[in-house]
A = this chain, B = another copy of it.
Amino acid sequence: MIDRYSRKELRALWSDQRRYDTWLEVELAACTAMEREGTVPAGTAARVREKAGGKLNPARILEIEERTRHDVIAFLTHVEELAGADARWLHLGMTSSDVLDSSLGILLVAATDEILGGLDLLLAALKKRAEEHRHTAMMGRSHGIHAEPVTLGIVFAGFYAEARRNRRRLEAARAAIAVGKIAGAVGTYANVSPAVEKEALAALGLRAETVSTQVVQRDRHAELFGALALLGASVEKLAIQVRHWQRTEVGEAEEAFGKGQKGSSAMPHKKNPILSENLTGLARLLRGYAVPALENVALWHERDISHSSVERIAAPDATSLADFMLRRAAGLVDGLVVHSARMQKNLQLTGGLIFSEGVMLALVRTGLPRQTAYEIVQRSALRARDEGGDFKSLLSADPEVSSRLPAGALDGAFDLQHHLRHADRIIDRALSDEELP
């Protein structure tokens, strides 16, 4: 997690302080439940909270860990330093992973909520721009080649629909990860009761793992990292779209350029889509974290600790990168400078070639076999493209076309508005949120 690519909220979330504070919350929730159950003296949790709550010193815990080489034992030793005798009632019948995994669940849920907040910002920006550009005609391209017209609103609506699918995936992953365990060394409740687990976890906003081993099962975490990687891929798609639009030769839209911003140290004329390129790279990193998360699933027997080092790095890094990406993407969409005049110009770049399908279909409707019609149209199209003539004129001059299509019929095939007549319907359908995302 580096400052450059993370918000301070996420850095705080993954700080040592927050982690140890969360561990204490888990211990106290369990202790409170045990008090109610009668296995721990009433008032213990409250007394420990008074003496140790908000006073944990990460540096001291790390110092103790140097010696014990065990993080939770170091933490408990420190709590005992602060809270005295009452601390012996903590962690009763529990194993380290009861604390660690329940705490990880809490933190991952909090991180996912931040990410969902960012996703909502992106959704809002996409919706706004889709509404704004419902009828802004632009070239649709397949294979990088001009195909047929679309509207910019449709494009934004498409990203909106995809973002909603990512929201569904993230919500599912959030539910999967909102799980803890207080079930003892191998998950059998040998020295702790299921009732204590249920009550304590509920107080922490978590459900109990269905069947624990020593740990919460890692397919849950892999689902989250997978959802983040897929989210990242969708942001990358948006970023690559912007990078194409901003190309010198295309020029249809560009990133907002700040006051004082410099594009290149060597070339004063440049304005580069660096935010989008940055998002492209970050998406690669998110894919990179999904792979080790999948390898973390197959722990040995009731657990081995190989997942831990992966998660110490990937959990903060992947969540904070995803959070950062969404805020940046939302800002990118929000501030995107749209050059609709250039879009108009680009629509005309091929001299009407983009309407070739309509001509072909008009010929088919006159009774020509499809492949014959295709070849007739391709003939004029490739000539227009390679020799530079006007497509419609070439068609008119072709007796096989003119004998079948009177001038009016040909004009109809070249009508932009006809092409875009369903734009509102498409956009409404996407923005209405009625569809299963």
Contacts and interface: CB of A to CB of B under 8 A. Distances in A.
A287 B281 contact: no
Q: So how many copies of this chain end up in the complex? A: 4
A148 B267 contact: yes
A55 B315 CA distance: 36
A303 B142 contact: yes
B346 A249 contact: yes
A150 B265 contact: no
A407 interface: no
B230 A223 contact: yes
A385 interface: yes
A250 B142 CA distance: 15
Given A145-B247, A272-B305, A297-B236, A211 B356 contact: no
A429 B210 CA distance: 7
Contact of A270 (B76, B147, B265, B297): B147
Interface stretch (A103-111, A113-121, A154-162, A398-406): A154-162
A308 B292 contact: no
Closest 8 CB pairs of A and B: A140-B186, A284-B292, A269-B381, A281-B309, A143-B272, A158-B211, A233-B297, A141-B301
A302 B148 CA distance: 10
A210 to B, nearest CB: 4
A169 B243 CA distance: 33
A168 B191 CA distance: 32
Contacts of A131: none
A342 to B, nearest CB: 10
Given A244-B144, A247-B145, A265-B76, A188 B272 contact: no
A322 to B, nearest CB: 13
A186 B150 contact: yes
Contact of A300 (B2, B244, B281, B378): B244
A388 to B, nearest CB: 11
A350 B314 contact: no
A368 interface: yes
5 contacts: A80-B371, A95-B267, A249-B346, A281-B306, A313-B317
A178 to B, nearest CB: 10
A361 interface: yes
A369 B237 CA distance: 41
A12 interface: no
Interface string A126-164: 000000000000011111111111100010011011100
Nearest to A139: B248
Contact of A369 (B88, B260, B294, B368): B88
Given A165-B219, A169-B223, 15 more contacts: A4-B312, A67-B260, A70-B261, A73-B371, A80-B369, A96-B264, A142-B214, A148-B186, A162-B217, A188-B423, A210-B429, A210-B430, A226-B229, A267-B356, A268-B360
Contacts of A72: 265
B294 A165 contact: no
Given A211-B430, A229-B294, A357-B190, A301 B140 contact: yes
A414 to B, nearest CB: 12
A314 B285 contact: yes
Contacts of A2: 312-313
A285 B311 CA distance: 10
A422 interface: yes
A168 B223 CA distance: 11
Given A95-B266, A262-B68, A368-B88, A190 B220 contact: no
A356 to B, nearest CB: 4
A270 B171 CA distance: 39
Given A140-B302, A298-B237, A303-B142, A285 B313 contact: yes
B143 A305 contact: yes
Contacts of A169: 172, 223
Nearest to A99: B265
A228 to B, nearest CB: 11
Given A154-B211, A281-B306, A350-B269, A230 B297 contact: yes
A258 B260 CA distance: 51
